[in-house]
Amino acid sequence: MQKRISNLPFKGTPEQKQKLDEIIERHREQKGAILPVLQEAQEVYGYLPVEVQGMIAEGLGVSLEEVYGVATFYSQFSLTPKGRYNISICLGTACYVKGAAAVLDKISSVLGIQPEECTPDGKFSLTACRCVGACGLAPVLTVNGDVYGRMTPDEVEQILAKYE
Amino acid sequence: MENMVNIKINGMPLSVPSGSTVLEAARMAGIDIPTLCYLKGINEIGACRMCVVEVKGARSLVASCVYPVNEGMEVQTNTPKIQKSRKMTLEMLLSVHNKDCLACKRSGNCEFQTLCNEMGIEDSNRFEGAMPDASTDESTLHLVRDNSKCILCRRCVAACEAQHVAVIGPNNRGFDTHIASPFERSLNEVPCVSCGQCIVVCPTGALTERDQCDEVMAAINDPEKFVVVQTAPAIRATLGECFGMPVGSNVKGKMVAALRRLGFDKVFDTDLGADLTIVEEANELLERVKNGGPLPLITSCSPGWIKFCEYYYPELLPNVSSCKSPQQMTGAVIKTWYAQQNHIDPKNIVVVSIMPCTAKKFEVKRDDEEAAGVPDVDIALTTRELARLINMAHINFARLPDEEFDPALGISTGAAAIFGATGGVMEAALRTAAEKLEGRSLDSVDYKEVRGTQSLKEAVYHVGGMDIKVAAVSGLNNADELLKKVKNGEGGYHFIEIMCCPGGCVNGGGQPIQPASVRSFTDLIGDRSKALYEEDKNLPLRKSHENPIIKMLYKEYFETPGSHKAHEVLHTSYTPRKRY
């Protein structure tokens, strides 16, 4: 699946910018610096929008395309922001055969977002993940740290309502 | 004496320089191992697996393009195992390829198609299955990308990186991998300089110039329009390749004959515009030397370089000559002086230019390129598009007689002829500037120090009691290195020539496409350039300011170089551009 790209406005703070500058400075002379810088930048910003990748390219003296090529190669990187509550639905084998796809569709339609997207109010984001190691509870979803097992589409709205 | 190693290829003993790859060694033995992703010095990544060979003792087939020879090595290049592997590679590529070959511009000149033929592929649908989502990009004036024909060889990516532009690359991974720009932006939203070097290295029809042949035919067939064509210096040295002639054939006469048969009302020579550029630019140089700058003066003939400067070195724009390029000067003279002389409304003139360049398609649409209130040039075609027009008209190019340009704007000098090779504009300008500085006619016209394809050519010439330090570079990687120095106030140059494409216009992005075997293993740039230096040597006039038409134009129209009128018609301006 191709990486989704956020079109939500960038809300980086001067503090985040300062942290990123420090990260770049620390890796500047290192060969293959793009990967560790992207990893640390994602910890600072939560995701890697064009503004952040642009600063990394400028700072490391490489092209934006080179940075973007790496960012879209590895599944660990996200180009879309996470909401205050990140819903992660397992699409691993066990969850999938137990009907995770229908649960995912329901969440998508309730929130109006696709996997790897965030609601415009920044409240919920949605991730499709692979096996969380709780196959006995399939299908499973997590909201931040909370685990919900044996999910059905009907329960989705009720669960989402718990989060303010 | 180089260190040699002894190897065996297909049982034949062979002594080859150590450090050679198996691919290079095999060529010495007369075996051209097939390749797809390989481009010598530019893309040596061993990715496509077409060039696999068997090496005795090796665990598996090896990629010969990156595998070095060593003493006692035994190589097989044509076993059933190799053939099976190469065929499988092609069949896998075919399984995700848009096989609409009959309607593809590269049919007959496609490296992928050629290999399928050579390897005896019998079933182009042997593997069927999912097709990747292939996008097309038609956002720019100069290029069309059709990823349904892309084989992911990355030659375009390497060519773009070699130009220090690097706006395309492989995005995402696995089955989703595709060549595009960062954040999937279209090419007109990234700092692409329109050089077209990606097109000339593409082995398939994934990258092609934006074809404007139909627009030209429509103009020719419009009775209201007076359609004039002009051809750049580098076209005569390459057009023959499209009709099976050897690289380096000068086909000036046949080219003119073909254009006349296509129905153009007048066939003019951009070389005249080149002579005019030199007279204006030499004057600009002398003015700047006299008035204290800004120096170095940097040439402005190459629109890819201009766009690069606007994106990446906006602070050096005051150094760039305000002279329009020869294409635009020729167009401007046609729509002003020539239109007046012949009582034709410039609105009814269509100027078509034949250019070695895709960035010229961008240049014709630039601001401040409208001397007569209408665009100086209407349509810029590449060498390849001209060949297509000639083929569509079923003109037998090889059997055409040699004809001359129309005389009104058809006389040019050797100085203009060499514009198409790197260092040529510099040399042409020096021929004129030196005489102005010395105040007399000089016998010597050769400035050989600025010729050739080295990364940087520098020279100091003592003329008119002063030292003039010059530099010439081609390829934006070389330009980038030089400009870093200039930006830091280093070098002490008076005059710099920059050509966007490596080797200059003879290797422009609009030139005939030669396969990787030719690009990697012959001196394509040198062979094409030779045709231009030959032409220069054999022309009666070799200095731009001696061109009788140029003299007449100044006498009747522009008065003096750098005059108010000259500035109105022959000069332009530039603007900084935002990269992202």
Measure the CA–CA gap between A79 and A117, rounded to whole angstroms.
Answer: 9
Residue A118 and residue A144 in one domain: yes
**Are A109 and A89 in a shared domain?**
yes
Q: Is residue A103 part of a domain?
A: yes
Reading phi first (left if > 0) and then psi (alpha if -120 to 50, else beta), residue B343 is in left
Contact criterion met (CB below 8 Å) for B220 and B263: yes
How many domains does the structure of chain A reveal?
Answer: 2
- With contacts defined as CB-CB under 8 Å, which chain B residues touch A73? 172-173
Q: Is B182 close to A2, i.e. CB distance below 8 A? A: no
Taking CB atoms and an 8 Å cutoff, what residues of chain B touch A50? 182-183, 580
- Enter the pTM of the model: 0.93
Chain A residues with CB under 8 Å of B190 CB are 64-65
A147 and A93 assigned to the same domain: yes
Spatial contact of A3 and B172, defined as CB atoms under 8 Å apart: yes
Helix B424-438 and helix B270-291, axial crossing angle in degrees, nearest 10 = 50
Tens of pLDDT, residue by residue, chain B (580 residues):
568 999 999 999 999 999 999 999 999 999 999 999 999 999 999 999 999 999 999 999 999 999 999 999 999 999 999 999 999 999 999 999 999 999 999 999 999 999 999 999 999 999 998 999 899 999 999 999 999 999 999 999 999 999 999 999 999 999 999 999 999 999 999 999 999 999 999 999 999 999 999 999 999 999 999 999 999 999 999 999 999 999 999 999 999 999 999 999 999 999 999 999 999 999 999 999 999 889 999 999 999 999 999 999 999 999 999 999 999 999 999 999 999 999 999 999 999 999 999 999 999 999 999 999 999 999 999 999 999 999 999 999 999 999 999 999 999 999 999 999 999 999 999 999 999 888 888 888 899 999 998 889 999 999 888 899 999 999 999 999 999 999 999 999 999 999 999 999 999 999 999 999 999 999 999 999 999 999 999 999 999 999 999 999 999 999 999 999 999 999 999 999 999 8
User: The tokens 């942290």 sit on which residue?
Assistant: A19
**Does a structural domain hold residue A8?**
no
3-state secondary structure at position B100:
coil
In this structure, is residue A7 part of a structural domain? Answer: no
Per the structure, the complete domain to which residue A63 belongs is given by 14-73
Of all residues in chain B, the one with the smallest CA distance to A55 is B580
**In the listed set A6, A41, A73, which residue is the last one of a domain according to the structure?**
A73
Is the domain of A62 the same as that of A93? no
The domain boundary residue, chosen from A28, A52, A73: A73
Answer whether residue A62 is part of any domain: yes
Residue A3 C-alpha, separation from nearest chain B C-alpha, in angstroms = 7
Q: How far is it, in rounded angstroms, from Cα B44 to Cα B297?
A: 37
Q: Which two tokens stand for residue A46?
A: 């939560």
Name the E strands within A4-101: 85-90
Q: Give the nearest chain A residue to B158 (CA atoms).
A: A66
> Chain A: residue nearest B173 by CA?
A73
Whether residue A61 is found in the same domain as residue A95: no
Residues of A at the B interface, defined by Cβ within 8 angstroms: 1-3, 5, 50, 53-54, 63-69, 72-74, 79
Q: CA B419 to CA B413: how far, in whole Å?
A: 11
The distance of Cα A100 from the centroid of its chain, to the nearest Å, equals: 19
A53 and A26, same domain (yes or no) = yes
**Helix ranges, A46-111 (H):** 50-60, 64-73, 93-97, 100-111
DSSP annotation of B334 reads I
Residues A93 and A144 in one domain: yes
Q: Is residue A2 part of a domain?
A: no
Record: contact B182-A67, CB cut-off 8 A: yes
Q: Which domains does chain B have, with CATH numbers?
A: 4-78 (3.10.20.740), 93-209 (3.30.70.20), 214-570 (3.40.50.1780)
Residues A64 and A89 in one domain: no
Nearest to B264 by CA among B179, B386, B172, B362: B386
Q: Cα dist. B428→B165, B172, B299, B444, B446 in Å?
A: 29, 48, 12, 12, 9
Q: Which residues of chain A have pLDDT under 50?
A: none
Does A111 lie in the same domain as A67?
no
Going across the sheet that includes B379-382, the strands are: B266-269, B226-231, B349-355, B379-382
Q: Using CB atoms, pick whichever of A63, A65, A72 lies closest to residue B172.
A: A72
**Is residue A102 domain-shared with residue A55, that is, in the same domain?**
no
Nearest to A66 among B169, B176, B183 (CB): B169
Residue A7 is predicted with a pLDDT of 84
Domain with residue A129: its CATH number is 3.40.30.10
Contacts of A77 in chain B (CB under 8 A): none
Q: CA B315 to CA B114: how far, in whole Å?
A: 47
Rounded to the nearest 10 degrees, how much is the dihedral formed by the CA atoms of B203, B216, B327, B165?
A: -30
Quote the longest CA-to-CA distance of chain A. Answer: 54
- What is the Cα–Cα distance from B544 to B428, expressed in whole angstroms? 7
Q: What is the distance between the alpha carbons of residues A42 and A82, in angstroms, rounded to a whole number?
A: 11
- The C-alpha atoms of residue B171 and residue B177 are separated, in whole angstroms, by 6
Structure tokens, B37: 């992703």
Query: Which among B171, B190, B580 has the least Cβ separation from residue A69?
Result: B171
Select from A73, A94, A119 the last residue of a domain. A73
Instruction: Let me know if residue A29 belongs to a domain.
Output: yes
Q: Which of B414, B323, B308 has its CA nearest to residue B371? A: B323
Asked if B182 reaches chain A (Cβ–Cβ under 8 Å), the answer is: yes
Take residue B182 and report the two structure tokens written for it.
């960062």
Residues A22 and A62 placed together within one structural domain of the fold? yes
With an 8 Å Cβ cutoff, are A65 and B168 in contact?
A: yes
Q: Are A35 and A67 contained in the same domain?
A: yes
Question: Looking at residue B69, what is its pLDDT?
Answer: 97
In a domain, A58, yes or no: yes
User: B228, B265 in Cβ contact below 8 A?
Assistant: yes
> According to the model, what pLDDT value does residue B133 have?
86
> Do the domain assignments include residue A126?
yes
